[in-house]
Structure 1
C-alpha cells in the first residue's frame, strides 16, 4: 500500500497540472474567441483525436502488456513499435484529411486542417512511448513529463490568440506545439522511439498487432461514445451549438481525471500482477472510493453550475449550464468503466470494453439523431447521459462475469475501503507534528 500511495502522489501531481492547464486553455479560448469559433475548434480536433486512438493500433496497451510480462526483449519491442509508428502516422494523417474533406461542412480554411492532422504523428509517438514506461512500471518517470503538453498548449494559446491575434489558427498551433513539446522532451531524455534495424521483426509486430488491434477497436468504440455527438452536432446543428456543448462537456469530463488518477497505476500493476483476482478486488475498492470523490465534486458542480460557467467562460457561454447539468450524472456513472477497464486491459482483455460499449454506441447514435435537431447542444448532452449510463451497467455486468466477483461485492462498501484515506491522514498528521 505504501508503494501504491507513493505512485498515487506522483500521478496526482501530474493529473492536477493536467486539469489546471487544460481548464486554463478552455477558459482562454472561451474568453478570447466566440462560441462559433470554439465550435470550429471542436470540429478540427474531433477526427485527429479519434485517429490518435485508432492509429495507435492499441500499441500502447499491447506494449505495456508485453514489456510487463517480459515476453520479448525491450530492444525488439522498441524497434517494432518504431516501425509501426512510422506506418500508422502516414496512414492516419491521409485518412483523417479525407474525413475532413468529405464530412466537415464548417471548416473556413484548410490550413487549419493541415495543422490539426500534423499533431497525429507526435501524439502517436508519445502514446507508444508511454506504453514502454508503463510496462516497466516507471510511473515516476512517466508522470514527470505527462503534463507538459497541457502546459505548453495553455501558454501558446494565450500567446498566439491574445498577443498575435491568430484566433482559430492560434488555438490549433498551440495544440500542435503541446504534442511537439513532449516529443522533444522524450528525445532529450533519450526515451524516444528509434530504429535499431530496418528489417521487420515479423514475430513481434504480428503478436503486438494481433493484441493491439483488439485494443484499438475497443478504444475506437469507447471514444466514439465520447466524440460522436461532436461529429453529429456539426452536421445536424450549428457551430454555435457545438461551441456551447464543447465548453459544458469540457468541465465535467475533467471529473474523469479523478479515477484516471488511479488508472495508470492500475494498468501498469495489472500487467505485472501475479494474483489477478486479488488485484481485481483491489480495483473494485478503488472504484468505490473514486465514486465517492467524483460524486462529491459532481454535486458541487451541479449546485454551482451557473456561477462556474460565468466565472470561467463568461455570459456568451451561459447556454452551457444545462449541458453541464445534464452530463454530470452520466459522467459519475461512467466512472465504473473508467476505473475498472484498466484492470482488464492490463490483463490483455480489451474485448470486454468492446462488448460493453457496442450497444451504448448504437443508443448514442439513435438518440443524437433524434434529440439534436430538437434540442441542439442539450440534445447531444441528453444522448450522452443515456449512453454513459447504459455503458456503465453493461460493463459492470461483463466485468463481474469475467473476474468472478459478484456485482454486489463490487459496489458494496466496506470499512476497509477507507483505510487508504486513514493512512494518508495519519501521514499528514505525523508530518505536521514533526
Structure 2
C-alpha cells in the first residue's frame, strides 16, 4: 500500500496544478466574456470533447493493458499507435466539423469552428502517448502530460483575454497552445518520431483496436452522460442558460479530481496486478475513503455555494448556484462509479460500465428533453443528478458480481480503512 500511496500523492500534486490553473482560467473566461459567450464556448467544445472519447478509440487504455501485461513490446505498440493516430485524426476532425457546423447553434461562425477543431490531433497524440507511461507505471511522466497543458492554456488565456481582448477566439487559441506544446516535447522525448512507419503489423493493430474500441464505446457513453445536457441545452434553450449551466458543472468537475486521482493509479496498477481479488479489495477500501472525503467537501460546497459562485464568476452567474447545488448529490454518488470502474477497465473489462451507463444515458436524455424547456439550466442539472445516481447504484451490483465481493463488504467502513492515512501522517511528522 505504501507504493500505492506514493503514486497517489504524485498524481495528487498533478491534480492540484490542474485545479489551480484550470480554475483560474475558468474565472478569467467567465469574468471577461460573461454567461452568453461562455455558453457559446461550451456548445462549441462539447463535440471535440466527446470525440476525444471515441476518436481516441480507447488506445490509451489498450496500450496500458498490453504493455502492462507485456503482451507486445513498447516499440511494436508505438508504431501501431502512430498508424492508428493518423486515421483517427482525420476521422475525428471531419465528424466534429459536421456536428459543430450543422447541429449546433454556435457553429455559424466558421473561424470559431476551425479554432475548436485544431487541438484534436494534438490532444489525441498526447492521449495515446500517456498510455505508454501508464503501462510502464511511470506515473510522474504521465502527470506532466496532464498538468503542463493547463499551465500553458492559463498563460495564453490571460494574455489574449486580459491584455489583448481577443474574446472567444482568444480562449480557443489558448486551448490549442497546451496540447501543441506537449505534443512537440513528447514527439522527441518518447522517441515517437522514430515510430512513424508504413510497415503495418495488422495483428497488433487489430488486437489494440478490438479491445480499444470497447474502451472507446464505454468512454463515449460515459462522456455522453456528462455532456448530453450541454448539447440539449444548446438546442432547446439559450446560450445564456448554457453558460450558466457550464459554470455550475465546471466546479463539480474539479470536485471529481479526487476520484480521478485514485482512478489513474488504480487503472495502471490493475493492468499489472497478479492477484485481481486482492487488488479489488484495496480498490473498495479506496472507494470508501474517497466517498467520505468527497461527501465532506460536497457538504461544505453546498453550504457556501453562493459565495463560491459570486467570488469566482461574479453576479452575472448567480443562476449557477442552483445548478451547482442540484448537481452535488449526483456527483457524490457517481464518485462510486468513477473509482471502481477503473479497476474493471484495468482488468480488460470496460464493457461492464455500459450495462449501467446506457440505461442512465437514456434516462438523462428523456429527462433533459422534459425539464430543459421548463427549468432551463436547473432542469439539465436535475436530469443529470437522477441519471448519475441511477448509474452509480446499478454499477455497484455489476462490480460486485464481477469481482465476487459482496456489496456489504465493499461499502462497510472498517477501522483498518484509515490505517494508510494514519501511517502517512506519521511519516509527514518525521
Fold match by TM threshold 0.5: yes
Counterpart-to-counterpart distance in 2, 1:147 and 1:407: 35
Per-residue displacement from partner, 1:368-405 (whole Å, max 9, x unpaired)?
Answer: 00000000000000000000000001111100011000
Per-residue displacement from partner, 1:279-324 (whole Å, max 9, x unpaired)?
Answer: 0000000000000111111011000000000000000000000000
Counterpart-to-counterpart distance in 2, 1:415 and 1:99: 51
The residue number in structure 1 matching 2:253 is 253
The residue number in structure 2 matching 1:39 is 39
Counterpart-to-counterpart distance in 2, 1:113 and 1:192: 29
Counterpart-to-counterpart distance in 2, 1:31 and 1:151: 19
Q: Does 1:112 align with 2:112?
A: yes
Per-residue displacement from partner, 1:117-176 (whole Å, max 9, x unpaired)?
Answer: 111100100000011100011112211332011111111111111111110000101111
Q: Does structure 1 conserve the Cα–Cα contact (< 8 Å) formed by 2:215 and 2:351?
A: yes
Q: Does structure 2 conserve the Cα–Cα contact (< 8 Å) formed by 1:78 and 1:193?
A: no
Q: Does structure 2 conserve the Cα–Cα contact (< 8 Å) formed by 1:37 and 1:168?
A: yes
The residue number in structure 2 matching 1:165 is 165
Q: Does 1:334 align with 2:324?
A: no
Runs of 5+ in structure 1 lacking a partner? Answer: none
Q: Does structure 2 conserve the Cα–Cα contact (< 8 Å) formed by 1:344 and 1:350?
A: yes
Counterpart-to-counterpart distance in 1, 2:384 and 2:351: 22
Q: Which moved more, 1:245-254 or 1:3-12?
A: 3-12
Runs of 5+ in structure 2 lacking a partner? Answer: none
Q: Does structure 1 conserve the Cα–Cα contact (< 8 Å) formed by 2:93 and 2:120?
A: yes
Per-residue displacement from partner, 1:196-244 (whole Å, max 9, x unpaired)?
Answer: 5312110000000000010000000000000000000000000000000
Alignment of 1:7-406 (within 5 A): 7-192=7-192, 194-406=194-406
CA RMSD, aligned part only?
Answer: 1.0
Q: What TM-score results when the alignment is normalised by the length of structure 1? A: 0.97
- Aligned-pair CA distance for 1:264: 1.1
Q: Does structure 2 conserve the Cα–Cα contact (< 8 Å) formed by 1:57 and 1:209?
A: yes
Q: Does structure 1 conserve the Cα–Cα contact (< 8 Å) formed by 2:161 and 2:171?
A: yes
Counterpart-to-counterpart distance in 1, 2:191 and 2:371: 47
Question: What secondary structure sits across from 1:173 in the alignment?
Answer: helix
Q: Does structure 1 conserve the Cα–Cα contact (< 8 Å) formed by 2:130 and 2:145?
A: no
Counterpart-to-counterpart distance in 2, 1:78 and 1:395: 34
Q: Does structure 2 conserve the Cα–Cα contact (< 8 Å) formed by 1:42 and 1:243?
A: yes
Counterpart-to-counterpart distance in 1, 2:34 and 2:255: 25
Counterpart-to-counterpart distance in 1, 2:121 and 2:236: 30
- Aligned-pair CA distance for 1:420: 1.1
Counterpart-to-counterpart distance in 1, 2:412 and 2:384: 26
Q: Which moved more, 1:173-182 or 1:55-64?
A: 173-182
Counterpart-to-counterpart distance in 1, 2:96 and 2:192: 25
- Aligned-pair CA distance for 1:10: 1.1
Counterpart-to-counterpart distance in 2, 1:298 and 1:186: 37
- Aligned-pair CA distance for 1:108: 4.7
Q: Does structure 2 conserve the Cα–Cα contact (< 8 Å) formed by 1:81 and 1:193?
A: no
Q: Does structure 1 conserve the Cα–Cα contact (< 8 Å) formed by 2:126 and 2:145?
A: no
Question: What secondary structure sits across from 2:102 in the alignment?
Answer: helix
Q: What TM-score results when the alignment is normalised by the length of structure 2? A: 0.98
Moved over 6 A (4+): none
Counterpart-to-counterpart distance in 1, 2:146 and 2:168: 25
Question: What secondary structure sits across from 1:33 in the alignment?
Answer: helix
Q: Does structure 2 conserve the Cα–Cα contact (< 8 Å) formed by 1:82 and 1:193?
A: no
- Aligned-pair CA distance for 1:429: 1.6
Question: What secondary structure sits across from 2:107 in the alignment?
Answer: coil
Change (3 A) 1:35 1:191: farther
Counterpart-to-counterpart distance in 1, 2:107 and 2:211: 36
- Aligned-pair CA distance for 1:95: 0.7
Q: Which moved more, 1:157-166 or 1:138-147?
A: 138-147
Counterpart-to-counterpart distance in 2, 1:345 and 1:240: 38
Counterpart-to-counterpart distance in 2, 1:51 and 1:194: 27
